Amino acid sequence: MSDVVRATGVSRDVLAKLSTRPGSSTTVENGMLIAAFFGKTVNQFVAKAEASDLDRIAAIAELLTPEERRLVEAQIRGLAAAR
């Protein structure tokens, strides 16, 4: 749970409520952040559907700052160019 709190900014209290109280809910924003942490869209997360590799990468990228995204993009371009 600590990793989710740290990566998403969603409070430990909200996560505890969601994990211990059946039928509990949260805001759409929190739901998007939590789903992205697991590499899924909200719909995929709620439906317990598998996400494609690209879906997971895109969802996780949403958690990054613009500068972090630029760094990741540069690394991906470097990997592709090295082939």
Residue whose entry in the numeric block shows the structure tokens 């992205």: 36
Determine contact, residues 27/35, Cβ cutoff 8 Å: no
Ramachandran region, residue 12 (left: φ > 0; alpha: ψ -120 to 50; beta: rest): alpha
Tens digit of each residue's pLDDT (9 = 90 or more) over 7-36: 899 999 999 998 888 888 889 899 999 998
Helices (H) and strands (E) in the chain, counts: 6, 0
For the record, the structure tokens of 37 come out as 């942490």
Of 73, 39, 45, 44, the closest CA to residue 59 belongs to: 39
Is the confidence at residue 62, as pLDDT, over 90?
no
pTM for this predicted structure: 0.64
Is the confidence at residue 58, as pLDDT, over 90?
no
Residue whose entry in the numeric block shows the structure tokens 């590499």: 39
